[in-house]
Amino acid sequence: MPELPEVETTVKSLNILKNKKVINLNIRTKKLRYPVPVNKLKKIINSNLINFRRIAKYVIIDLNTSKSIIIHLGMSGRLRIFEHKSLKNKHDHLVLKFNNNHRLIFNDPRKFGFIDIIESHKIHNIKYIKKLGLDALDKNLSREYLYKKFYKSEVLIKQLLLNQYIVAGIGNIYASEILFDAKISPLKKGKNLNKYQIGTIIQSTRKILKKAIRSGGSSINDYVSPDGTLGNFQNNFKVYGKEGRYIKGFIIKKIVLYGRSTFFCPDIQN
């Protein structure tokens, strides 16, 4: 699923639509993960898009009407921008048409994403936003913050990194890459991490995620940025998807933790 780097890349690509007016929309699906707010969306016609931002894995589109569209891409969702009318795709669930003839399309084959619309100043009071932990790139993400979350935990560090209530934005792919970079085993329990190791995980988190953003995210499965550009960070994966290969003379293994594929090098990560 799109993780923090892919969502950040998506947000940056949307800037081509800044200050553009919505002149029409086509809602082709009434229900994704949750019901689509059809009546609220219809009211955005003649509104201008004034800002694009990211909260964790959510795309936020601010309108000049003090409303904001919230989009979660789910497992397979993506936003695409077309300069002219595109061929209709059965997985295109929402199409926004703008005054410059551009179209923004939300496509989601598996329908695990969702669309919401709310008053902009109330975003951080929405339940699914309010309960998020610190963003993975938040400058306030510190050793002290994570130590308080980890020091009594019997949960494995890989799963703790995926817990959006602790750190928001990290998904399965980047968790494996972060832990390899930090030389920490995904099998280590939270309570067994010292502050130095936690600091190393934070450093690796920032390093990996920022590098992935610069690379336009990772294009595996269906991810493509809104302008059609493929990300290329997958070419920099050290362990993810590399079961049986060797790195620095040591073999990479794949295990399943909490139902998720996990790639690591036991001889390097401890």
| Active-site entry in 3, 6, 8, 177 | 3
DSSP-derived letter for residue 230 is P
143 is catalytic: no
161 occurs within a structural domain: yes
What pLDDT score was predicted for residue 49? 98
Q: How far apart are CA 220 and CA 66, in angstroms?
A: 36
3-state helix, strand, coil in the chain (%, to 5): 30, 25, 45
What pLDDT score was predicted for residue 50? 98
Do 148 and 124 fall within a single domain? no
80 is catalytic: no
Total number of domains constituting the chain: 2
Do 147 and 251 fall within a single domain? yes
What pLDDT score was predicted for residue 240? 94
Residue of 213, 214, 207, 268 whose CA lies nearest to 242? 268
107: containing domain:
4-130
Report yes or no: 106 and 92 within 8 Å, Cβ to Cβ.
Answer: yes
3 is catalytic: yes
Do 125 and 158 fall within a single domain? no
| Active-site entry in 2, 5, 186, 226 | 2
What pLDDT score was predicted for residue 179? 98
270 occurs within a structural domain: no
Do 122 and 198 fall within a single domain? no
Do 112 and 147 fall within a single domain? no
pLDDT tens, residue by residue, 70-118:
999 998 889 999 887 766 788 999 999 999 999 999 999 999 999 999 9
Q: How far apart are CA 80 and CA 229, in angstroms?
A: 10
Q: Identify the CATH number of the domain in which residue 112 sits.
A: 3.20.190.10
Q: What is the pLDDT along the chain (270 residues), one digit of tens a residue?
A: 689 999 999 999 999 999 999 999 999 999 999 999 999 999 999 999 999 999 999 999 999 999 999 999 998 889 999 887 766 788 999 999 999 999 999 999 999 999 999 999 999 999 999 999 999 999 999 999 999 999 999 999 999 999 999 999 999 999 999 999 999 999 999 999 999 999 999 999 999 999 999 887 765 555 555 655 655 677 789 999 999 999 999 999 999 999 999 999 999 999
Domain boundary among 80, 107, 130: 130
| Active-site entry in 67, 109, 260, 266 | 260
Do 113 and 192 fall within a single domain? no
Do 140 and 257 fall within a single domain? yes
What pLDDT score was predicted for residue 223? 54
- Cα of first residue to Cα of last residue in the chain, in angstroms, is 27
Do 252 and 152 fall within a single domain? yes
Q: Which residues pair with 250 in a beta bridge?
A: 247
Do 56 and 167 fall within a single domain? no
Do 75 and 144 fall within a single domain? no
Domain boundary among 130, 164, 199: 130
| Active-site entry in 54, 57, 143, 158 | 57
Do 20 and 102 fall within a single domain? yes
Report yes or no: 178 and 5 within 8 Å, Cβ to Cβ.
Answer: no
269 occurs within a structural domain: no
Bridge-based pairing state of the strands 253-257 and 58-63: unpaired
